[in-house]
Amino acid sequence: MPELPEVENARRCLIKAELPGRAFTKADIGWAKSVKTPDLEEFALGLRGGVVQDVHRRGKYILLPLVNGESETRTLILHLGMSGGLSVQPRTNPMHPLVRHTFSLDDGRELRFEDGRKFGKIWLVSDPSEVLPPLSPDPLEGGLTPQVLAKSLEGRNAPIKALLLEQSIVAGMGNLYADESLFLAGINPTRSAAGLTGEEIDRLQQSIVNALTASIEKYETARDESWPDPPRALTGWTHPRTEGAPCPRCNGPFTGTRVRGRGTYYCPKCQG
Ligand SMILES: [Zn+2]
């Protein structure tokens, strides 16, 4: 599933492809249920003529503010779901079989939304706060301080791994980077959040930022090296995701378990 580094990579790719400044001329929606707001007819009408002002990200959501005419502003919001991907391509390029939706642009190209598993979501709204869930400050923008993290974990007895996946606690976090952050911080994913010390929360906050930043840097290099066809999924984490695999730190065997149904891998020796 695309997590913060993948969505941030998608955002930077859209900017590099010079999507800002272009206007949408038409939307071809291949799976009607993907469009959450408004209804399909209004969506197609509302999108037409909208000039993309910028590409923002909030957690795992891509936001494209659009200006249409003199005053009307709306925001196209895209969520990549379980396996979605975005690209801007000339209309004449062969269509990837998993492209579900295409948004034509005024320069002969189109924004293509691949979504094989149909978990992607699309909104067109005047005010993004109408549809976005509560999201923590972005871990990459400095707002997710150890104090903010400590406050959201206060009194929560659930396993720390489960809480890291709540978008109101760490916006953009997903299963892989939650495990990676806990590995870097040396914290057992099954521990109760309320039982973490202040020092452990400091370490966890730093590890979250480090894990996400390291991955984004890998995407940065890969994007430049393989443009215009950059990779969408890189193995950006350092811990193994196989039971019994050697720990990169102590060489002892990794353990696999499930925390709230999500596959979770950790070193029982290094993550006390
Ligand atoms: Zn270890």
Instruction: Tell me whether residue 164 is in a domain.
Output: yes
Show the CA angle centred on residue 235, arms to residues 231 and 178, nearest 5°.
Answer: 125
Which of 88, 105, 130 is the last residue before a domain boundary? 130
C-alpha 187 – ligand 1 centre gap (Å): 11
Is residue 83 located within the same domain as residue 120?
yes
Is residue 259 located within the same domain as residue 167?
yes
The catalytically annotated residue of 11, 60, 100, 232 is: 60
- Looking at residue 200, which CATH number applies to its domain? 1.10.8.50
Tokens of 118: 């149909």
Ion ligand 1 contact residues with beta carbon within 5 A: 247, 249-250, 252, 267, 269-270
Instruction: Tell me whether residue 136 is in a domain.
Output: no
Is residue 14 located within the same domain as residue 111?
yes
- Closest of 100, 128, 110, 122 to residue 24, by C-alpha: 110
Instruction: Tell me whether residue 135 is in a domain.
Output: no
The model's pLDDT over 154-196, given as tens digits with 9 standing for 90+, comes to 999 999 999 999 999 999 999 999 999 999 999 999 999 999 9
Is residue 122 located within the same domain as residue 55?
yes
SS3 19: coil
Our answer to whether residue 60 is catalytic in this structure is: yes
The model's pLDDT over 51-90, given as tens digits with 9 standing for 90+, comes to 999 999 999 999 999 999 877 899 999 999 999 999 999 9
Tell me the C-alpha to C-alpha distance, in Å, between residue 194 and each of 139, 177, 191. 21, 21, 9
Is residue 124 located within the same domain as residue 220?
no
C-alpha 61 – ligand 1 centre gap (Å): 34
Is residue 202 located within the same domain as residue 92?
no
Our answer to whether residue 2 is catalytic in this structure is: yes
pLDDT at 72: 80
Boundaries of domain holding 198: 146-266
Which of 105, 130, 155 is the last residue before a domain boundary? 130
> Residue 56: how many CA atoms within 13 Å on its side-chain side?
12
C-alpha 269 – ligand 1 centre gap (Å): 5
Number of folded domains in the chain?
2
C-alpha 197 – ligand 1 centre gap (Å): 21
Is residue 158 located within the same domain as residue 126?
no
Is residue 87 located within the same domain as residue 190?
no
